[in-house]
Amino acid sequence: MNTGHWIRHFTRNTPLNDSLRLPPAPVTLPDEIRLPLAASLAVFQLGESGGGTRLRRYAREVAPLVNFRGYQRAVDLFIAEEQSHSRLLERVVLHLGGSLIEKQWTNSVFRRLRGLVNLEFAIQVLLTAELVAEIYYGALYLRVSDPVVRVMARKILQDETRHLEFQREFLSERLATFSPAGRWLWRLQFEAVHAVTAAVVAWDHRHCLKALGVGLPEFFERTRKAWAVFQRRLDSRIRVLRECGGVAQVLSPTNP
């Protein structure tokens, strides 16, 4: 894994979120949109605010592998970037006249799920949320007229697209070491977990999606397509890794 590339990327990109200038425009959105949108963004704000304790702990487990040298540092920077999203979202929630929240049931469920099995599963739960978030921020960018919301949605969308690449690079190198049956099973549960995540998020944010004119079946279908694209790219990267012998490297620990 090219961790150096990711360390450089996060180091350069994350500060841009705190210094991002939001247009000094007053909110002109009608309350039917403003209120559910602010409530929905407050949930995302809370979700991005986590300290990544479990993720950091898991990342230590792969640190001895040659291919993941620097991964711990990259994960630290990745978590810092998610926290910068939280700060950016906080500015937007306040701009919309909304209130920040400290606890919310879907957030608690996702945090608990991430701690269940291992690093691959923790990354995968995070990834399913990021795949759904990609569709959510895309809808915001296209359908909300407020310039502050659009600037934020565009920036977070750009960042999340890179996060998907970051997770894909990690997972492809891990999954390349699995047997074909193991990969098949992994894919099956990934698709199932993603579908459940998409349904939960769609339900949880239904008032906001409705206010934006996005039907739940449409939202669900878009998230399914995003999953299929991600999985196709993941498969082709795994194929390349296995063909060019990257697996041997993945299996070589620096400290046997």
Measured from the CB of residue 253, what is the shortest distance to Fe ion in angstroms?
A: 28
Distance of CA 135 to the CA centre of its chain: 11
Q: Which CB, 20 or 27, lies closer to Fe ion? A: 20
| Token pair in block for residue 235 | 């498969």
**Which helix H or strand E contains 129, and what residues bound it?**
helix 119-143
Q: How many residues does the chain have?
A: 256
Q: Which CB, 163 or 205, lies closer to Fe ion? A: 163
Q: Which CB, 43 or 65, lies closer to Fe ion? A: 43
Measured from the CB of residue 83, what is the shortest distance to Fe ion in angstroms?
A: 9
What's the sign of the alpha-carbon dihedral 176, 198, 35, 142?
positive
Give the integer Cα–Cα distance in Å for 162 and 165. Answer: 5
Measured from the CB of residue 200, what is the shortest distance to Fe ion in angstroms?
A: 17
Angle (CA) 114 120 121, round 5°: 35
Measured from the CB of residue 128, what is the shortest distance to Fe ion in angstroms?
A: 11
Q: Mapped to the 3 state alphabet, what secondary structure does 171-199 carry?
A: HHHHHCCCCHHHHHHHHHHHHHHHHHHHH
- Give contact residues for Fe ion (rule: CB under 5 A): 48, 82, 85, 130, 160, 163
Q: Which CB, 49 or 231, lies closer to Fe ion? A: 49
Measured from the CB of residue 82, what is the shortest distance to Fe ion in angstroms?
A: 5
Measured from the CB of residue 177, what is the shortest distance to Fe ion in angstroms?
A: 25
Return the SS3 of 69. coil
Measured from the CB of residue 127, what is the shortest distance to Fe ion in angstroms?
A: 9
Phi, psi of 101 (to 5 degrees): -125, 160
Give the integer Cα–Cα distance in Å for 27 and 96. Answer: 6
Closest C-alpha to 167, from 116, 109, 128, 110: 128
Closest C-alpha to 168, from 234, 228, 245, 118: 234
